[in-house]
């Protein structure tokens, strides 16, 4: 789990941006960890490809250097790929991940660091979404209130991951790569990428991503990207429900990001590490060239098992439901003293 503070650092780095198509909020928090090792990116219009959006969360481990470098450079490397220029965006994302890994390996200040980072990245162009990921940060979407999973975690115990690890000379012990690393794909972690007989895609730990492709339609509401500090505590469905109910209540995406992190924060670090990690959340509201109030209204709708809308609850009902869902931000166990929470948006 790593070293932890005596009390969590709940200061938040929060930001927002929007245009006609996206209303984006983000926030990150150090929490109980000694250092903040995450990085994230939200770009509504790429400089090299105006009108195309890029979002990402990078969860560093062993230090912040790899996550920070990726946050500053991966999207730039992506748009320079020949595959990108040819419109083959899925392949461009795969090659961009491998290229940035190779660049960092040659970088004097990075090649010897014992650090790595997950990466869950998203390119949205002409209403088509390309989500590339390595590691266990994750992206999901709300489609008519239902979870659409956009990435899948890379864990050493997964059959495909296990077979690659062992074929490259590694092993899995205590659900970790060589008994050490809890995820099986990452940027950096160059100590696991030294088998000269194997291609980059075949190393014990690889930076080669899986890419999911989706078409965004009118029933898509919002997207959540977050590090495992969120997913270790809450299920996909719980995150969608929490975000959706708070959007329906009129809260801004960045406020919901802050509330979500506080909801996941552990009252102490005696719970096997759950809720003790750095946390980063990006919420992308899909406006579809309409005002945010339209998304608020869409998230107020309830759907039956046939995915058909039922009655829209009143504002009072929404407020009551969300209050019940979010009142448990930090609750210390009986007889224990929990951390003093800082002021956060009064989500209902």
Per-residue pLDDT tens digits of the chain, which is 348 residues long = 567 899 999 999 999 999 999 999 999 999 999 999 999 999 999 999 999 999 999 999 999 999 999 999 999 999 999 999 999 999 999 999 999 999 999 999 898 899 999 999 999 999 999 999 999 999 999 999 999 999 999 999 999 999 999 999 999 999 999 999 999 999 999 999 999 999 999 999 999 999 999 999 999 999 999 999 999 999 999 999 999 999 999 999 999 999 999 999 999 987 667 999 999 999 999 999 999 999 999 999 988 776 777 754 444 444 433 333 333 333 334 444 444 444 444 565
The span from the CA of 126 to the CA of 285, in Å, is 16
The span from the CA of 322 to the CA of 302, in Å, is 14
The span from the CA of 279 to the CA of 259, in Å, is 12
pLDDT at 154: 98
pLDDT at 131: 98
Helices (H), the chain: 65-79, 82-85, 89-106, 159-167, 228-231, 236-248, 253-264, 292-300, 315-326
pLDDT at 347: 67
| The residue to which tokens 């709940």 are assigned | 10
Tokens of 59: 């969860």
Global confidence as pTM: 0.88
Phi/psi of residue 110, each to 5°? -120, -25
Domains defined for the chain, CATH in brackets: 12-326 (3.60.40.10)
Is residue 104 within 8 Å of residue 188, measured between CB atoms?
A: yes
């Amino acid at each position: 789990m790593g070293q932890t503070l005596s009390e969590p650092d709940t200061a938040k780095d929060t930001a927002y941006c929007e245009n006609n198509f996206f209303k984006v909020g983000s926030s990150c928090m150090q929490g109980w960890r000694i250092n903040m090792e995450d990085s994230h990116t939200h770009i509504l219009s790429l400089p090299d490809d105006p009108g195309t959006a890029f979002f990402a969360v990078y969860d560093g481990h062993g230090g912040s250097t790899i996550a920070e470098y990726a946050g500053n450079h991966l999207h730039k490397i992506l748009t320079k790929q020949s595959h990108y220029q040819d419109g083959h965006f899925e392949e461009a994302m795969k090659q961009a991940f491998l290229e940035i890994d190779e660049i960092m390996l040659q970088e004097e200040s990075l090649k010897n660091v014992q650090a790595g980072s997950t990466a869950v990245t998203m390119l949205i162009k002409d209403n088509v979404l390309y989500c590339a990921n390595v590691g266990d940060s994750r992206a999901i979407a709300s489609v008519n209130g239902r979870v659409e999973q956009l990435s899948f975690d890379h864990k050493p115990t997964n059959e495909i991951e296990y077979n690659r690890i062992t074929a490259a000379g590694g092993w899995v012990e205590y659900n970790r790569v060589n008994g050490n690393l809890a995820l099986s794909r990452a940027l950096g972690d160059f100590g696991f990428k030294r088998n000269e007989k194997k291609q980059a895609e075949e190393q014990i730990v690889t930076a080669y991503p899986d890419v999911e492709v989706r078409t965004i339609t009118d029933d898509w509401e919002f997207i959540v990207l977050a590090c495992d500090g969120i997913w270790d505590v809450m299920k996909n469905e719980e995150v969608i429900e929490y975000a959706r109910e708070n959007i329906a209540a009129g809260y801004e995406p960045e406020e919901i990001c802050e509330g979500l992190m506080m909801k996941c924060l552990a009252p102490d670090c005696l719970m096997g590490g759950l809720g003790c990690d750095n946390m980063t959340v990006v919420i992308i509201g899909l406006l579809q060239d309409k005002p945010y109030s339209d998304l608020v209204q869409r998230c107020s709708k309830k759907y039956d098992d046939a995915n058909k809308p039922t009655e829209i609850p009143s504002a009072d009902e929404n407020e009551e439901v969300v209050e019940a869902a979010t009142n448990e931000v930090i609750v210390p166990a009986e007889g224990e003293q929990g951390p003093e929470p800082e002021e956060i948006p009064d989500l209902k």
